[in-house]
Structure 1
Amino acid sequence: MSRIRDHIRRHTNPSVFFASGALVLVFCAVGVAEPERFKEAALSLRSAIGTYFGWFYVLSAALFLGLALWLMMSRFGRLRLGPDSARPEFGFPSWIAMIFTAGMGIGLVTYGVHEPITHTGDPFVSESGEPATTAMQYTLFHWGLHPWAIYIVPGLALGYFCFRKGLPMRPASALYPLIGDRINGWIGNLIDILAVFTTLVGIATSLGLGTRQIGSGLSGAFGLHDGAALHLVVIAAVTAVAVVSVLAGLDRGIRRMAVLTLWTAGALLAVTAALGPKLFMVGAAVSGLGGYLQNIVEMSLTFVPPGTDPQAQEFSSRWTLFYWGWWVSWSPFVGMFLARISYGRTVREFIGACLFAPLTISVAWFGVFGGAGIFHRLQGGAAPTGGGPGAALFGLLHAFGLPEPAYAALVVFAIVVLAAFYITSADSASLVVDMLTNGGDPHPVRLQRVLWSSLIGLIAVVLLVAGGDAAVQALEAAAVCAALPFCAVLVLMAVSLVTAVRRDGEASAEGPPEPRRPRTMRTDPSGAPDTPRRRQ
Structure 2
Amino acid sequence: MLREYLRAHTNPPVFVISGIVAVGFVLWGVLAPGHMSAVAGSANSFVTTYFEWLYIIAATFFLIFVVVLMLSRYGAVKLGPPDSTPEYSNLAWFAMLFTAGMGIGLVFYAVSEPITHFTSPPTGQPGTAEAAQNAMSYTFFHWGLHPWAIYIVLGLSLGYFAFRRGLPLRPSAALYPLLGDRINGWVGNLVDVLAVFGTLFGLATSLGIGGQQVGAGVSALFGLTNTTTLQVLLVLGITTIAVVSVMLGIDKGIRRLSLANLWLAFGLMLFVFFAGPSLDLLNTIAANVGHYLQNLAGLSLQTFPGDSVAQEWQASWTLFYWGWWISWSPFVGMFIARISYGRTIRAFIVGTLLAPVGASMVWLTIFGNSALQLLLGDPNNPLADATSESALFVMLNQLTVPGVVTLVASVVAILVVVLFFATSSDSGSLVVDILTNGGDPHPRWQQRLFWAVLEGVIAAVLLLAGGAAGGEALGALQTASIVAGLPFCVVLLFLCWGLVRGLRTERLPAVASLPPEPLTELRRSTQRRSPWLRSRGKY
TM-score scaled by length of structure 1: 0.90
Deviations 1:99-154 (A, max 9, x none): 34334521110000000111111243435981111111111011000000011111
Judge conservation of contact 2:199–2:330 (CA < 8 Å) in 1: yes
Once the two structures are overlaid, the 10-residue window that deviates more, 468-477 or 352-361, is 468-477
Matches within 5 A, 1:16-415: 16-127=14-125, 130-227=130-227, 230-231=230-231, 234-305=234-305, 308-380=306-378, 382-384=381-383, 386-415=385-414
- Alpha carbons of structure 1 residues 455 and 94: separation in structure 2 relative to 1, 3 Å: farther
Q: CA RMSD in A?
A: 2.8
Helix, strand or coil at the partner of 1:529 = helix
Q: Which runs of 4+ in 1 moved over 6 A?
A: 508-511, 522-525
Structure 2: distance between partners of 1:467 and 1:528: 43
Q: What is residue 486 of structure 2 aligned with on the other side?
A: 484
Structure 1: distance between partners of 2:135 and 2:492: 30
Structure 2: distance between partners of 1:180 and 1:81: 21
CA deviation after TM superposition for structure 1 residue 420, in Å: 1.6
Amino acid across the alignment from 1:483: G
Given candidates 469, 476, 497, the residue that maps to 1:474 is: 476
CA deviation after TM superposition for structure 1 residue 162, in Å: 0.9
Given candidates 490, 493, 501, the residue that maps to 1:499 is: 501
Matches within 5 A, 1:511-530: 519-521=525-527, 529-530=534-535
Deviations 1:208-245 (A, max 9, x none): 22112111111112223434664455334422332333
CA deviation after TM superposition for structure 1 residue 253, in Å: 3.7
Judge conservation of contact 1:257–1:424 (CA < 8 Å) in 2: yes
Gaps of 5+ in 1: none
- Alpha carbons of structure 1 residues 203 and 508: separation in structure 2 relative to 1, 3 Å: closer
Amino acid across the alignment from 1:267: G
Amino acid across the alignment from 1:239: T
CA deviation after TM superposition for structure 1 residue 17, in Å: 1.1
Judge conservation of contact 1:83–1:163 (CA < 8 Å) in 2: yes
CA deviation after TM superposition for structure 1 residue 249, in Å: 3.5
Deviations 1:446-475 (A, max 9, x none): 221122112222333444468747566335
CA deviation after TM superposition for structure 1 residue 164, in Å: 1.0
CA deviation after TM superposition for structure 1 residue 26, in Å: 2.3
- Alpha carbons of structure 1 residues 478 and 229: separation in structure 2 relative to 1, 3 Å: closer
Amino acid across the alignment from 2:534: P
Structure 2: distance between partners of 1:330 and 1:510: 33
Judge conservation of contact 2:442–2:530 (CA < 8 Å) in 1: no
Amino acid across the alignment from 2:449: V
Once the two structures are overlaid, the 10-residue window that deviates more, 460-469 or 339-348, is 460-469
Judge conservation of contact 1:198–1:329 (CA < 8 Å) in 2: yes
Structure 1: distance between partners of 2:236 and 2:477: 20
CA deviation after TM superposition for structure 1 residue 387, in Å: 4.6
Structure 1: distance between partners of 2:524 and 2:84: 14
Judge conservation of contact 1:157–1:174 (CA < 8 Å) in 2: yes
Amino acid across the alignment from 1:259: L
Q: What is residue 13 of structure 1 aligned with on the other side?
A: 11
CA deviation after TM superposition for structure 1 residue 374, in Å: 0.6
Structure 1: distance between partners of 2:535 and 2:440: 13
Deviations 1:180-219 (A, max 9, x none): 1111111111111111112112212321221121111111
Identity %: 48
Judge conservation of contact 2:439–2:529 (CA < 8 Å) in 1: no
Once the two structures are overlaid, the 10-residue window that deviates more, 20-29 or 125-134, is 125-134
Aligned residues: 525
TM-score scaled by length of structure 2: 0.90
Judge conservation of contact 2:275–2:401 (CA < 8 Å) in 1: no
- Alpha carbons of structure 1 residues 65 and 403: separation in structure 2 relative to 1, 3 Å: same
CA deviation after TM superposition for structure 1 residue 382, in Å: 3.7
1:422 matched to 2:424 = no
Gaps of 5+ in 2: none
Structure 1: distance between partners of 2:533 and 2:448: 26
Deviations 1:343-374 (A, max 9, x none): 22221121112110111111111111000111
CA deviation after TM superposition for structure 1 residue 257, in Å: 3.1
Structure 2: distance between partners of 1:401 and 1:90: 41
CA deviation after TM superposition for structure 1 residue 507, in Å: 4.3
Once the two structures are overlaid, the 10-residue window that deviates more, 196-205 or 270-279, is 196-205
Judge conservation of contact 1:219–1:225 (CA < 8 Å) in 2: yes
Deviations 1:263-297 (A, max 9, x none): 22111100000111223333433222111111212
CA deviation after TM superposition for structure 1 residue 407, in Å: 2.1
Helix, strand or coil at the partner of 1:124 = coil
CA deviation after TM superposition for structure 1 residue 323, in Å: 1.2
CA deviation after TM superposition for structure 1 residue 60, in Å: 1.0
CA deviation after TM superposition for structure 1 residue 25, in Å: 2.1
CA deviation after TM superposition for structure 1 residue 168, in Å: 1.0
CA deviation after TM superposition for structure 1 residue 519, in Å: 4.1
Amino acid across the alignment from 2:182: R
Judge conservation of contact 2:276–2:400 (CA < 8 Å) in 1: no
CA deviation after TM superposition for structure 1 residue 315, in Å: 2.7
Structure 2: distance between partners of 1:76 and 1:253: 38
1:531 matched to 2:533 = no
CA deviation after TM superposition for structure 1 residue 404, in Å: 3.4
